[in-house]
Amino acid sequence: GAVVSQHPSRVICKSGTSVKIECRSLDFQATTMFWYRQFPKQSLMLMATSNEGSKATYEQGVEKDKFLINHASLTLSTLTVTSAHPEDSSFYICSARALRDTDTQYFGPGTRLTVL
Partner 1 sequence: AQKITQTQPGMFVQEKEAVTLDCTYDTSDPSYGLFWYKQPSSGEMIFLIYQGSYDQQNATEGRYSLNFQKARKSANLVISASQLGDSAMYFCAMREVGFQKLVFGTGTRLLVSP
C-alpha torsion sign, points 59, 108, 113, 44:
positive
- Interface residue with partner 1 among 19, 21, 30, 93 (CB under 8 A) is 93
Cα-based torsion angle of the residue sequence 77, 94, 75, 73 in order, rounded to the nearest 10 degrees: -20
Alpha-carbon span 25 to 45, nearest angstrom: 21
- Does 95 bind partner 1 (CB under 8 A)? Our answer is yes
Q: With b meaning 16 or more CB within 10 Å and e meaning fewer, what string describes 31-65?
A: ebbbbbbeeeeeeeeebbbbebeeebebeeebeee
- Closest contact distance (angstroms) between CB of 87 and partner 1 is 20
Are the C-beta atoms of residues 97 and 32 closer than 8 Å to each other?
yes
**Window of 17-25, 61-69, 82-90, 102-110 that interacts with partner 1 by CB under 8 A:** 102-110
- Closest contact distance (angstroms) between CB of 3 and partner 1 is 11
Residue placing its CB nearer to partner 1 in the complex, 49 or 82: 49
Residue placing its CB nearer to partner 1 in the complex, 15 or 114: 114
- Closest contact distance (angstroms) between CB of 61 and partner 1 is 15
Residue placing its CB nearer to partner 1 in the complex, 14 or 60: 60
Q: Which residues bind partner 1 (CB under 8 A)?
A: 32, 34, 38, 42-44, 46, 49, 91, 93, 95, 97, 103-110, 112
